[in-house]
Structure 1
Amino acid sequence: MSRIAECDVTDCAYNKHNSCHTLAITVGGPEECPQCDTYVVSAHSGGIPDMHGGVGACKVASCKHNELLECNAFTVKIGWHQNHPDCRTFEHK
């Protein structure tokens, strides 16, 4: 599973100190905008404190790192794009 090396989406319930603490995220959204579908804003922190998240599924078929709906990048970065979080590691095939 590709590891999330960095997440700049600090208002996400799974983010603590720019690190994702859920077991896995799903990357989806429109083909040209690989959104983090797991992003959630909550008054409560989520995830597992000692866990560093990974990419469980990628629904963006046009990404060169997507192989059979799985991400094969060594690590990924998540960050803001316009008004939503995107996979910043996305590259066209």
Structure 2
Amino acid sequence: MNQKIINIIEVKPLDNYSLYIKFEDGINGEINLKKNFITNGLSRDLLNEKIFKSVKIESGGGIVFENGYDLCPVTLRYIIENKNLTN
């Protein structure tokens, strides 16, 4: 099975370690990174507000922070489409 990756076209840091993410097909939503990803290592650096706010879209369609921590669009989209995982 070959699934097309739908790229992220917009990302905005929000309060409380959340991100607003919009995909090229119009699907969008908020993800709380503290609840879903911030555990240890590079992800722990995201608790630093400067690093958290450095989020940008990378060439592969995912997101990346200045410390090198990145997340793929497939994972982020799955969470947005299945809101029960973030509550």
Higher strand proportion = 1
TM-score interval for Structure 1 and Structure 2 normalised by the shorter chain: 0.3 to 0.5
Task: Please report the TM-score for the alignment, with normalisation by the length of structure 2.
Answer: 0.34
TM-score (structure 1 length as normaliser): 0.33
The structure that is helix-richer by fraction is 2
